[in-house]
Amino acid sequence: MSILIDQDTKVIVQGITGRDGSFHASQMIEYGTNIVGGVTPGKGGQEVHGKPVFHSVQDAKDAVGVDATVIYVPAKFAKGAVQEAIDADIPLIICITEGVPVNDMVGLYHQVKAKGLTLIGPNCPGLISPGKSKIGIMPGMICIPGSVGVISRSGTLTYEIVHALTGLNIGQSTCVGIGGDPIVGSNFRDVLALFEKDPDTEAVVLVGEIGGDEEEKTAEYIKEHISKPCFAYIVGASAPEGRRMGHAGAIVSGNAGTAASKQKAFSEAGVPVAKTLDEMAELVAKQFQ
């Protein structure tokens, strides 16, 4: 089993006629993702990779049915693209775009929650249920089906931990890159709740990073709500005070958001904290011995 997506999930690509949208649509189709069409305003009626292009998300939904949409548009158009998906009541919205203004995200975040929809991102690699479906930019060849869920704020390190797990023959149920911006549609706790309910996910790996207090809140949530084994790794332990590390949300102010505070919170919640990604994989491997 998996969470959020599987082989039957009907997916559209917003921005499918653009360079990135077209390239990643072809990669998703090759992986086996059920891409049913794409959206580019003003270009409806065309085809890309044999898939129909529609003028709007609503047109696509009416014509082919849509369970999820993935967004590959420039940052200045991302708010409008997400808004269009919200207005069409698409259950799962994945925004790959980085550089989306925080002010744009505030209103979108509350609309998504009010409607009971799910937003992954922005500034994220998307998600993959190995052997079933991938939506976004994750490399499918490094994943194998299994029972470990992965949640990460870092796109690149999502790939690194998945590769390390696969190297030890530890498969994944679903891997979710939630994004590293200050405001994202889904946090660790949102995704953990889904993994907790998934009978085929036996353990969960979390890759956090400096900045904010999401990891500390997640540690408390695990203590109260999660029965499955969890493992954590925090990126940025060597970052100088006040230094941003790539992601807009990865900035430490005073004692808040430090790697040490996050590591302590997870340890106190009974979550093993690895010093390296390889050590993380080894800790998970011991769980299944």
Q: Locate the DSSP E strands across the chain.
A: 11-14, 35-39, 47-48, 51-54, 68-71, 92-95, 118-120, 126-129, 133-136, 145-152, 172-177, 203-209, 230-235, 273-274
Judge whether 215 and 259 are in contact, CB under 8 Å.
no
Between CA 287 and CA 289 the distance in angstroms is 6
Q: Which of 55, 110, 163, 247 is catalytic?
A: 247
What's at 202, amino acid-wise?
E
Cα four-point dihedral sign 22, 23, 26, 31:
negative
Does residue 247 carry a catalytic annotation? yes
Give kind and range of the element (H or E) at residue 159.
helix 155-167
Buried b (16+ CB within 10 A) or exposed e, 112-124: beeeebbbbbbbb
Tokens (6 digits) for 113:
């929650």
Give kind and range of the element (H or E) at residue 12.
strand 11-14
Give the pairing type, strands 126-129 and 133-136: antiparallel
Would you please indicate which residues are annotated as catalytic (active-site) residues? 247
